[in-house]
A = this chain, B = another copy of it.
Amino acid sequence: MAIPRAAKTQRRTRIQEEKEERILEAALDVFSQNGFRGATIDQIAEAAGMSKPNLLYYFRTKEAIHRQLIDRVLFTWLEPLRAFDAEGNPESEIRSYIRRKLEMARDFPRESRLFANEVLQGAPHIEDELKGPLKALVDEKAEVIRTWARSGKIAKCDPYHLIFSIWSTTQHYADFDVQVRAVLGQNYAGEGRFEDAARFLEQLFIDGLRARQS
């Protein structure tokens, strides 16, 4: 009798732990490439090397898999912003924020695309998280930036749009990877593009935000 699925007992078995991980890993592949509606349970099951009903034994619905993935990603995705330190040196804080975000785009492109897919399609599953925790965190860091600007450490600028522009420029290398590769062409498209991007973006933001007297 196994009516209640894999969650009746509080303790998760070794098998549960391992299989759920495999499913999430496979689902990340599939969701990030096809979006929620475009992904099928069969695809995920095959990628995870198990049958569809077996997968559904661990996650009752497609949405359940997606939700858990999104929750994870959302958390780690904001890590770099959380690390933004009000006490640190503005220039080096911004510089290392850009660098960290770029590293994430390079090392976790699937996570970035999962998130992009979700937001692009109207964020039907995470509107609350965006309006709640995300907004709160951004508000907090925006205040830090505003303080820096007021004390003349960086140029006066709208902190929200500054954050948006760092998000968009860095995530571009994950979300629009195909386009970036197509434009740069074979010759250029080694992983070196991330270093070139880092150099360019650091120059742009640091020089663009350098405090001016005018």
Interface residues of A, Cβ cutoff 8 Å to B: 33-38, 113, 116-117, 119-123, 127, 130-131, 134-135, 138, 155, 157-158, 160-162, 164-165, 167-169, 171-173, 175-176, 178-180, 182-185, 188, 196-197, 199-201, 203-210, 212
Q: Which residues of B contact A134 (CB under 8 A)?
A: 179, 182-183
B209/A204 in contact, CB under 8 A: yes
Interface of A is mostly: helix
Q: Which residues of B contact A138 (CB under 8 A)?
A: 183
Distance in angstroms between the alpha carbons of A188 and B138 in the assembled complex = 14
Q: Which residues of B contact A173 (CB under 8 A)?
A: 164
Q: Which residues of B contact A179 (CB under 8 A)?
A: 119, 123, 130, 134
